[in-house]
């Protein structure tokens, strides 16, 4: 499909984090390491939960889904950036750019919705513990994830189709390491008023909605914890949601930092550097946050490690 009424298919150039050739090997090594850690760490979480029947609960079902989404999320941007650095090419095709926008919005939206669903799960577990297994039944858990997928897919499809109908110059230089929708729309030759309206509306509805749900859930959780008489009971209740609260804080604080940096009168590269935090660093840190603060996950990981056969030198 040709963009708008333009007969030329545009070509996008991703300028990356730096246009200088000297730091490119360092950037390549750093991003490759973070990408491998992200994939390996999240796969370990999925494997640990899948292999331990004691972890087949709603909380860990949502955690494995989040780990899978994080792998897909970082795979949307990282491999293309690594390829461009390796081949010393900054080009991404028009179709590739639209595809990247679609999947980036899809998995970013899923991250957002899943964090809200996990907050609701903790709310039910702490505020209504006696009814937890009844409320958070497998049917509801599956339905929550399915609705999250559907809403994220519809949103990303709408935004991507609207970008398809914009006209661009023959060559567009984007000061970013991936096709971020705000950056792409900014370089359109045609009117982007409708695109801007949809983006702002989606930010308020799909970003603010889950955040409001998370804040509401944790306000109720804090009220319940305060009402617990024993200090041990308070610590146990808080420890069950500490990891999730850490991930939520990291995710939203980094996104807020990106938008504040992009709004500041600085170069576009500052926004690209800030985007590294929530597109690369946050998915990489999530497995560490959950595994280091969760005794059940650590126990499952130890079982997996103990099953790996050790090779003794000199013996066959």
CB 217 within 8 A of CB 123: yes
Tokens of residue 301, six digits: 């990981």
Q: Report the 3 state secondary structure along 242-294.
A: HHHHHHHHHHHHHHHHHHHHHHCCCCHHHHHHHHHHHHHHHHHHHHHHHHHCC
Count of CB atoms situated within 10 Å of the CB of 152: 22
- The predicted pLDDT at position 278 comes to 82
- The predicted pLDDT at position 5 comes to 44
The helix or strand, by DSSP H or E, that contains position 194, with its residue range, turns out to be: helix 193-202
Q: Is the pLDDT of residue 224 over 90?
A: no
Give the highest mean pLDDT range of 17-26, 28-37, 47-56, 242-251: 28-37
Q: Tens digits of per-residue pLDDT, 227-264? A: 877 777 777 777 777 888 888 888 888 777 666 555 55
Residue 88 — left, alpha, or beta (φ > 0 → left; ψ -120 to 50 → alpha)? left
Q: Give the least confident one: 205-209, 224-228, 233-237.
A: 233-237
- The predicted pLDDT at position 261 comes to 56
Distance CA 121, CA 91 (A): 43
**Helix, strand, coil percentages, rounded to 5, for the chain:** 75, 5, 20
Tokens of residue 241, six digits: 């949601």
Residue 23 DSSP code: T
Q: Is the pLDDT of residue 19 over 80?
A: no
Question: Which pTM value belongs to this model?
Answer: 0.89
Q: Average pLDDT, stretch 46-53?
A: 90
Q: Which residues contact 165 (CB under 8 A, 6 or more apart)?
A: 3, 4, 190
Tokens of residue 257, six digits: 């930092």
Q: Is the pLDDT of residue 175 over 90?
A: no
CATH label, 11-296, candidates 1.20.1070.10, 1.10.10.10, 3.10.20.30, 3.30.1490.20: 1.20.1070.10
β-strand pairing of 11-14 with 171-174: parallel
- The predicted pLDDT at position 275 comes to 81
- The predicted pLDDT at position 258 comes to 66
Tell me what the pLDDT averaged over the chain comes to: 86
Q: Average pLDDT, stretch 286-312?
A: 76
Residue boundaries of the structural domains of the chain:
11-296
Distance CA 176, CA 81 (A): 10
Location of structure tokens 């990891």: 243
Range 203-211, long-range pairs (CB < 8 A, 24+ positions): 206/109, 206/112, 206/113, 206/151, 206/155, 207/112, 209/116, 210/112, 210/113, 210/115, 210/116, 211/116, 211/252
Q: Tens digits of per-residue pLDDT, 98-138? A: 999 999 999 999 999 999 999 999 999 999 989 999 999 99
Q: Give the least confident one: 179-183, 249-253, 260-264, 285-289.
A: 260-264
- The predicted pLDDT at position 231 comes to 77
As a whole-number percent, the residues of the chain with pLDDT over 70 amount to 90
Choose among 300, 313, 262, 273: nearest CA to 53. Answer: 300
Distance CA 17, CA 272 (A): 6
Q: Tens digits of per-residue pLDDT, 137-152? A: 999 999 999 999 999 9
Q: Give the least confident one: 45-49, 161-165, 268-272.
A: 268-272
Tell me whether residue 83 is exposed, middle or buried, using C-beta atoms within 10 angstroms of its C-beta: 0 to 12, 13 to 18, 19 or more: exposed
CB 101 within 8 A of CB 132: no
């Amino acid at each position: 499909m040709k963009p708008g009424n333009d007969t030329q298919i545009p070509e996008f150039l991703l300028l990356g984090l730096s246009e200088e050739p000297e730091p490119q090997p360092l950037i390549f090594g750093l991003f490759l390491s973070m990408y491998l850690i992200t994939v390996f760490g999240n796969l370990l979480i999925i494997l640990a939960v899948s292999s331990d029947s004691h972890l087949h609960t709603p909380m860990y079902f949502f955690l494995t889904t989040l780990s899978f989404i994080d792998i897909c999320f970082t795979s949307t941007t990282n491999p293309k950036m690594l390829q461009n650095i390796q081949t010393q090419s900054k080009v991404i095709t028009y179709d590739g750019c639209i595809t990247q926008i679609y999947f980036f919005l899809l998995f970013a939206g899923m991250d957002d919705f899943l964090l809200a669903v996990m907050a609701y799960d903790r709310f039910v577990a702490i505020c209504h513990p006696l009814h937890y297994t009844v409320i958070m039944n497998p049917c509801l858990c599956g339905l929550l994830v399915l609705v999250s997928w559907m809403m994220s897919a519809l949103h990303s499809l709408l935004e991507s189709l609207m970008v398809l109908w914009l006209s661009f110059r023959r060559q567009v230089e984007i000061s970013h390491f991936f096709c971020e929708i705000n950056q792409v729309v900014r370089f359109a030759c045609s009117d982007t008023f409708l695109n801007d309206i949809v983006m702002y509306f989606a930010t308020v509805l799909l970003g603010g909605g889950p955040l409001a749900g998370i804040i509401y859930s944790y306000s109720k959780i804090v009220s319940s914890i305060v009402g617990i008489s024993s200090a041990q009971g308070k610590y146990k209740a808080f420890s069950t949601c500490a990891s999730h609260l850490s991930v939520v804080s990291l995710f939203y604080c980094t996104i807020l930092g990106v938008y504040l940096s992009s709004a500041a009168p600085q170069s576009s590269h500052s926004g690209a550097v800030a985007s590294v935090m929530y597109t690369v660093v946050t998915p990489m840190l999530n497995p560490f946050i959950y595994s280091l603060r969760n005794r059940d996950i650590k126990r499952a990981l130890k079982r997996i490690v103990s099953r790996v056969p050790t090779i003794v030198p000199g013996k066959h």
